Structure 1
Amino acid sequence: MSRHHRQKNEMRRDVPIGTPSNTGIETTDIEAVEQEENLSFATNGLTPIPQQVTIKPAFVEHYKRLLGPRYDEFMQYSLSYITKSIRVNTLKVTVEELRKRMEQDWILTPVPWCKEGFFLKYRHYKRFDIGNLPEHQLGMFYVQDAASMIPPVVLDPQPGEMVLDLCAAPGSKTTQLAMYMQNRGVLMANDVSGDRLKPLGLNLQRAGIMNTLVTLRGNGPLNQGALLFDRVLVDAPCSGTGTIRRSLKTLQMWSPGLIHRLVAEQRKLIELGYFVLKPGGTLVYSTCTQEPAENEALISWFLARHPDAEVLPISLDIKRSDAIVAFDGETFNPEVAKCLRIYPQDNNTEGFFVAKIRKKDGNA
């Protein structure tokens, strides 16, 4: 389940490997999945995660309809370790300076779509937690999945602007936005959970962020339209099926009912974000799920409600998959083809969806 999803879920006891439970769930280990699904991790140089995994038959059926012949590869990557990545915080250090500090012990490979991002691998055999590095404690870099860097890059906030991060905690994208703004202008970092504001505040402090106002819910000034923003990021709570390799519980928690509830919340969030967006402004909607209902279908629904909204193309140096323009008998607005959809196997990252929307200013 995505790091964003905050609802409480009931946990069930493990059942014997391969034995169906009364909920229609099967629990097995990844080696068994490899054999049953005819997966070959070694083919792509992947290392399977040595844990039990819970897969619902309904999930398998649903994702085979969505992915077709790409389903096996999707599961290979989803059940394997992800390559670690970091983003240099240029408010504290230049990209080249940090690279020189780390290259003796780490192999750094640039992330093509984010000039501050690097995939990294430890040069030595002994395991080392990158979070313990002094450079991390000093806020010189943020440990962040490379796909997670995409939404702030696409939003492209500028110094001096008014920017809203509607679902900010724990702060990876917030700190990236503030970095691009060079600590100038105003960045409102909002979240709906007070418990999540503490780590957000700590991350902002460590990164040296000084232009950010942290708000809880922000319902008053936001719902009343008292504040308008040049750019808005809606990194929405989601079912997280692009992040299975970070949390195998995502497979266990997945259900059509969960998706239905999340879509209702996502609709409210994108509506609020668009409401406080200035004419001529840009909104980026993103999720780390592969579900069409939470992505292309939601954007299609949104466009039907807002004739003044236009989807902008996203140009990045990244391998992408085609956006979903029809699924399960539903045809979406053809403009959703401009959205960015990536699966874990496309770039060996998390899966992500990003839509870039402009509010027409009346003169266009």
Structure 2
Amino acid sequence: MCFYYGYNEFLMDKLLQLFTVSEAVEFFEANEVARPVTIRTNTLKTRRRDLAQALINRGVNLDPIGKWTKVGLTIFDSPVPIGATPEYMAGHYMIQAASSFLPVMSLAPQENEKVLDMSAAPGGKTTYCSALMKNTGLVVANDANKEREKALVANIHRLGISNTIVCNYDGREFPKVMGGFDRVLLDAPCSGTGVISKDASVKVNKSQDDINMLTHLQKELILSAIDSANADSATGGYIVYSTCSVTIDEDEAVVNYALSKRPNVKLVSTGLDFGAKGFTSFRGQSFHSSLNLTRRFYPHAHNMDGFFVAKFKKLSNKIQNAENQFVVPTGSGAKTKQKKKSVSK
């Protein structure tokens, strides 16, 4: 199978642990076929029906993505480049993978909220947040990679977004920079095992060392995301963690780690009514029972990139640490303070 599908032994082994052999073959076959091109209607400028009609008039063959989204269109065939139409230039839509609609739908940002997108470039999720918020409130679009931010800024301008600040920080430092967010979105850097159809190099260039390095970063980022949210928010206090990976190490294991390190959060329903439930146990590992609230999406089952979505609700801005001290993280909008707690023997 390594030879036939072109995977290295490490990744083949990982995927065969995750799926039955027959399902693994379906997964591998799905990765050999390009996912459909999908676009998201920019509701700040137009309606999906009007956009679809305008593109059909240009000879574009399209359909709504599915019942789960009211803004997505699948492009089957187009006589003109879909990234060069007058409608595209005017900011009526964003070329965006269907799977990347999901974390924003789960986050469900509300008007006049303060929202952080921790890893924002090239801006599909950021601009979707702004559209759902109807250009009200504030979206802080952060990305650690300055080069990638050029596309982010360009898309914000093209789509007519006016409620967004772009910044360039390491996400792990974010609570010290700014906190008190109503909602935080972390679409974490990952191995890309869900997007092999877009990047076939993933088949051979990943090793256990790569996964270990990525999971370490993901764990630091998810704690930072949690600490940046404000539990006292009248409307929010939610954090969404997502990856375009299907490995347990980067998904359930990272979320389980966050639950163990931050007892002031709990998992809640993602609000997505399709997708496979997350694992609560895997090859001898046991995870928190609430991990069945997370959602997994697969190319062979849902005709979109492999994806993972988890949603947290922050219950308190205080964390009880190992020394039995209550600490208020600097990002939660309150000053740091420590209070001794008596321990009964």
TM normalised by structure 1 equals 0.81
Instruction: Write the letter of the residue equivalent to 1:236.
Output: A
Q: What is residue 125 of structure 2 aligned with on the other side?
A: 173
Alignment check: 8 A CA contact 1:321 1:346 kept: no
Map Cα deviations across residues 5-26 of structure 1 (whole Å, 9 max, x no partner). Answer: xxxxxxxxxxxxx9xxxxxxx6
Map Cα deviations across residues 277-310 of structure 1 (whole Å, 9 max, x no partner). Answer: 0015000000000010110011111101122211
Q: What is residue 167 of structure 2 aligned with on the other side?
A: 215
Instruction: Write the letter of the residue equivalent to 1:283.
Output: I
The SS at the match of 2:182 is strand
Instruction: Write the letter of the residue equivalent to 1:77.
Output: A
Instruction: Write the letter of the residue equivalent to 1:289.
Output: S
Structure 1 residues 198, 131: closer, same or farther in 2, change over 3 A? same
Please, which of 290, 298, 303 is the counterpart of residue 348 of structure 1? 303
1:60 Cα offset (Å): 1.3
% identical aligned pairs: 32
Q: Does 1:101 align with 2:54?
A: yes
1:220 Cα offset (Å): 10
Please, which of 200, 217, 238 is the counterpart of residue 282 of structure 1? 238
Q: What is residue 160 of structure 1 aligned with on the other side?
A: 112
Structure 1 residues 65, 221: closer, same or farther in 2, change over 3 A? closer
Map Cα deviations across residues 200-225 of structure 1 (whole Å, 9 max, x no partner). Answer: 10011111111100011067983326
Cα distance in 2 between the residues matched to 1:220 and 1:68 = 37
Instruction: Write the letter of the residue equivalent to 1:94.
Output: R
TM normalised by structure 2 equals 0.85
Map Cα deviations across residues 114-146 of structure 1 (whole Å, 9 max, x no partner). Answer: 2111112127xxx64211211111110011111
Cα distance in 2 between the residues matched to 1:284 and 1:220 = 16
Please, which of 227, 231, 247 is the counterpart of residue 291 of structure 1? 247
Q: What is residue 96 of structure 2 aligned with on the other side?
A: 144
Q: What is residue 73 of structure 1 aligned with on the other side?
A: 26
Cα distance in 2 between the residues matched to 1:329 and 1:359 = 29
Map Cα deviations across residues 325-363 of structure 1 (whole Å, 9 max, x no partner). Answer: 22232111111111011111121110100000000148x
After superposing the two structures, state which structure 1 stretch, 347-356 or 209-218, moved more: 209-218
Cα distance in 2 between the residues matched to 1:110 and 1:265 = 33
Instruction: Write the letter of the residue equivalent to 2:105.
Output: V
Cα distance in 1 between the residues matched to 2:99 and 2:178 = 33
Task: Calculate the aligned-residue CA RMSD, in Å.
Answer: 1.9
Q: What is residue 306 of structure 1 aligned with on the other side?
A: 262
Q: What is residue 188 of structure 1 aligned with on the other side?
A: 140
Please, which of 325, 329, 335 is the counterpart of residue 290 of structure 2? 335
Cα distance in 1 between the residues matched to 2:53 and 2:228 = 42
Structure 1 residues 299, 76: closer, same or farther in 2, change over 3 A? same
Q: What is residue 150 of structure 2 aligned with on the other side?
A: 198
Cα distance in 2 between the residues matched to 1:335 and 1:189 = 29
Cα distance in 2 between the residues matched to 1:226 and 1:174 = 17
Please, which of 41, 48, 73 is the counterpart of residue 88 of structure 1? 41
Q: What is residue 21 of structure 1 aligned with on the other side?
A: none
Cα distance in 1 between the residues matched to 2:149 and 2:239 = 23
Alignment check: 8 A CA contact 2:172 2:221 kept: no
Structure 1: gaps (5+ residues): 1-17, 19-25, 34-53
Please, which of 107, 112, 121 is the counterpart of residue 67 of structure 2? 112
Cα distance in 1 between the residues matched to 2:176 and 2:270 = 31
Alignment check: 8 A CA contact 2:56 2:62 kept: yes
Alignment check: 8 A CA contact 1:113 1:150 kept: no
Structure 1 residues 226, 85: closer, same or farther in 2, change over 3 A? closer
Alignment check: 8 A CA contact 1:162 1:185 kept: yes
Map Cα deviations across residues 59-81 of structure 1 (whole Å, 9 max, x no partner). Answer: 11221111113101110111111
Structure 2: gaps (5+ residues): 318-345
The SS at the match of 1:213 is strand
Cα distance in 1 between the residues matched to 2:39 and 2:171 = 33
Structure 1 residues 195, 159: closer, same or farther in 2, change over 3 A? same
Please, which of 255, 272, 277 is the counterpart of residue 322 of structure 1? 277
After superposing the two structures, state which structure 1 stretch, 139-148 or 57-66, moved more: 57-66
Cα distance in 2 between the residues matched to 1:159 and 1:108 = 29
Cα distance in 1 between the residues matched to 2:277 and 2:167 = 36
Cα distance in 1 between the residues matched to 2:170 and 2:160 = 23
The SS at the match of 2:167 is strand
Cα distance in 2 between the residues matched to 1:76 and 1:215 = 40
